[in-house]
């Protein structure tokens, strides 16, 4: 089954607090699947991907990163850049890769139901 997703439609307008809270885990895990990243870069990536409608703050992101690390989904390491600046980089663990698969399945299930209810795709 092919599922048509209009990403501009999903992110139109500012997301509610509930949606923001629910989406942080799959968004962070998905970003880290692409490779190591640090807090500010994760914030910028989310802002860029959402066309500016999702704007995370440090105060929102870092507690989530710490929780994901405690749960074993991500790990961190301090890296000193060429200019001497020390940054904490996060990466996905094997457990995190498995959790991302679960998150993806859950979000696609919800999206499929909403798409049917909203008439985006026909019901069977």
The pLDDT profile of the chain, 124 residues, written as one tens digit per residue, is 334 444 333 334 467 888 888 899 999 999 999 999 999 999 999 999 999 888 899 999 999 999 999 999 999 999 998 899 999 999 999 999 999 999 999 999 999 999 999 988 776 6
What's the pLDDT at 14?
62
- Residue 3 pLDDT: 40
Model pLDDT, residue 111: 93
Q: What is the DSSP letter of 110?
A: H
Q: Kindly list the structural domains of the chain, giving each domain's residue range(s) and its CATH number in brackets, ordered by start.
A: 15-117 (1.10.10.10)
Cα–Cα distance between 76 and 73 in angstroms, integer?
11
Q: What is the pLDDT of residue 73?
A: 98
Entry pTM: 0.82
Q: How much is the pLDDT for 81?
A: 86
| H helix count then E strand count, the chain | 5, 3
d(CA 103, CA 78): 27
- β-bridge pairing 37-38 and 86-92: antiparallel
Collapsing DSSP states into helix, strand and coil, what is residue 89?
strand
Predicted pLDDT of residue 16: 80
- pLDDT, residue 92, reads 98
pLDDT of residue 123: 67
């Amino acid at each position: 089954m092919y599922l048509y997703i209009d990403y501009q439609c999903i992110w139109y307008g500012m997301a509610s607090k509930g949606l923001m809270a629910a989406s942080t885990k799959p968004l962070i895990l998905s970003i880290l699947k692409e490779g190591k990243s640090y807090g500010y870069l994760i914030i910028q990536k989310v802002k860029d991907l959402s066309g500016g409608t999702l704007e995370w703050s440090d105060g929102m992101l870092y507690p989530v990163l710490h929780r994901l690390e405690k749960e074993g989904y991500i790990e961190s390491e301090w890296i000193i850049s060429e200019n001497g600046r020390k940054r904490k980089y996060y990466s996905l663990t094997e457990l995190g890769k498995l959790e991302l698969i679960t998150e993806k399945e859950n979000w696609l299930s919800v999206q499929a139901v909403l798409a049917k209810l909203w008439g985006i795709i026909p019901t069977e």
